[in-house]
Structure 1
Amino acid sequence: MAKFNAFGKEKGWIELICGPMFAGKSEELLRRLKRLEYADVSYIVFKPIVDTRSKKEIKSRDGRSSYAIEFEHPYQILDYVKKNIVLPQVVAIDEAQFADTSIVDVCEALADSGVIVYVAALDRDFKNEPFMVTAKISCYAEHITKLSAVCTECGAPGTISLRLINGMPAHFDSPVVQIGNQESYTVRCRHHHKVPGKVYDLPIKEFKTSYKKSIKK
């Protein structure tokens, strides 16, 4: 009869850190990596090359940073891991929403092979629509940490990034991906997130309009 070992946990799983901009996703990722250093756990950090805000590193807004290997295609992560002198116990990927959907298969392959995978990513774009990469990863992740920022209008939990052009909300037809920081983005709660040009189905629009009016009476 096999003995039960309460500490005999199989290694290999995915931990997703998601939320809007300015919520502290990179800070949380770096915090987890720092904790690994105390336990002498080997890890490698990756980021999509399209993220040009910093070169070959991930940075938090509180000043912390870590060296990161840039990739154009997610399969390059697997190639680098295989060729590394020390096989990593943990692989961390920042700004995963900028990668194509094959990053999901890469995360799955790593976890299935016994690697613990940390992924940090935006969950929604400025239109309040999900990044499909993040949505798919969330379906496979064993652990999900969803962070929020602070709405710059009212101080409520800020859960949605909002792109600004000359201080005004960008039109719905603007490109989804535009690398930027506080000069181009802010964070709003659901009640203060407005995107010009966004079209709602008529039943949704009528309900929202009539219900708000009835509440105010």
Structure 2
Amino acid sequence: MFIPPKDIGWVEVICGPMFSGKTEELIRRIRRASFAKQRVQVFKPKIDDRYDANAIVSHNQERVEGIPVSDLKEMRQKLDPHVEVVGIDEIQFFDQGVVDFCDELANKGCRVIVAGLDLDYLGEPFGPLPRLICQAEYVSKLLAICVRCGNPAHHSYRLSTDPQQVLVGSTDQYEAICRRCFKVGQD
């Protein structure tokens, strides 16, 4: 059950594997805040230009305008001092300082909604998400459907052999798979 706090800020984390609907859920929450006439600002990492350089776009083409930033410093510079709701997509691409940034905003009374991968392609905790999950008031862990067997999927399996942790892609680079299929793929 979601009971919004009164007269204070808070942090909401939407996490899970690729293709689980994280960005779609972020967009839904942002739209509801906009409908409520709250001052909203949405950020995205510049590195994620898969569907649009300036909008946050889900795999099913739901979209909301966003502000692309290279790093946390640029996000701070572009932050509206009167904002009430801040959304950040693909938060795993930001450094650990984003956790303190989210706390600062919440402590000033902002509602902060972030979305991102909690695990990287190796199944390891990804970037600032573990700390954010621990510090957030609300956490929504979404699951995808395993493309191999149909079970609930919580892994983003990389199809290429590129070893770098950050590799922006979609169905060309990744597929959602379950625990069993991920283990089989690792053996």
Same fold, judged at TM 0.5 (above): yes
Q: Distance in 1 between matches of 2:169 and 2:130?
A: 22
The residue number in structure 1 matching 2:139 is 144
For 1:106-125, list aligned pairs within 5 A: 106-125=101-120
Figure out how many residues of one structure are paired with residues of the other and give that number: 183
Deviation, 1:121, is: 0.6
The residue number in structure 2 matching 1:105 is 100
SS in structure 1 opposite 2:100?
Answer: helix
Q: Note closer, same or farther for the CA distance 1:95–1:59 as it changes in structure 2 (3 Å cut).
A: same
> Equivalent of 2:178, from 171, 174, 189?
189
The residue number in structure 1 matching 2:44 is 47
Larger relative contact order, structure 1 or 2 (CA cutoff 8 Å, min sep 6) = 2
The residue number in structure 1 matching 2:25 is 28
> Equivalent of 1:73, from 71, 74, 77?
71
The answer to which of 32-41 and 21-30 deviates more is: 32-41
CA contact (8 A) 1:127 1:195 kept: no
The residue number in structure 2 matching 1:127 is 122
CA contact (8 A) 1:75 1:106 kept: no
Aligned amino acid, residue 79 of structure 1: Q
Cα displacement string for residues 136-169 of structure 1 (whole angstroms, at most 9, x for unaligned residues): 111110000000000111100010000002xxxx
SS in structure 2 opposite 1:120?
Answer: strand
SS in structure 1 opposite 2:164?
Answer: coil
State the Cα RMSD in Å: 1.9
Cα displacement string for residues 95-152 of structure 1 (whole angstroms, at most 9, x for unaligned residues): 0001111111111111111111000010001100111311111111000000000011
Q: Higher Cα Rg: structure 1 or 2? A: 1
- Normalization by structure 1: what TM-score? 0.79
Q: Distance in 1 between matches of 2:107 and 2:66?
A: 23
Deviation, 1:197, is: 6.9
SS in structure 1 opposite 2:170?
Answer: coil
- Normalization by structure 2: what TM-score? 0.91
The residue number in structure 1 matching 2:35 is 38
**Percent identity at matched positions?**
39
Deviation, 1:8, is: 7.9
SS in structure 2 opposite 1:47?
Answer: strand
Q: Which runs of 5+ in 2 are unaligned?
A: none
Q: Which runs of 5+ in 1 are unaligned?
A: 1-6, 199-217
Deviation, 1:60, is: 1.2
Aligned amino acid, residue 181 of structure 1: S
Aligned amino acid, residue 74 of structure 2: Q
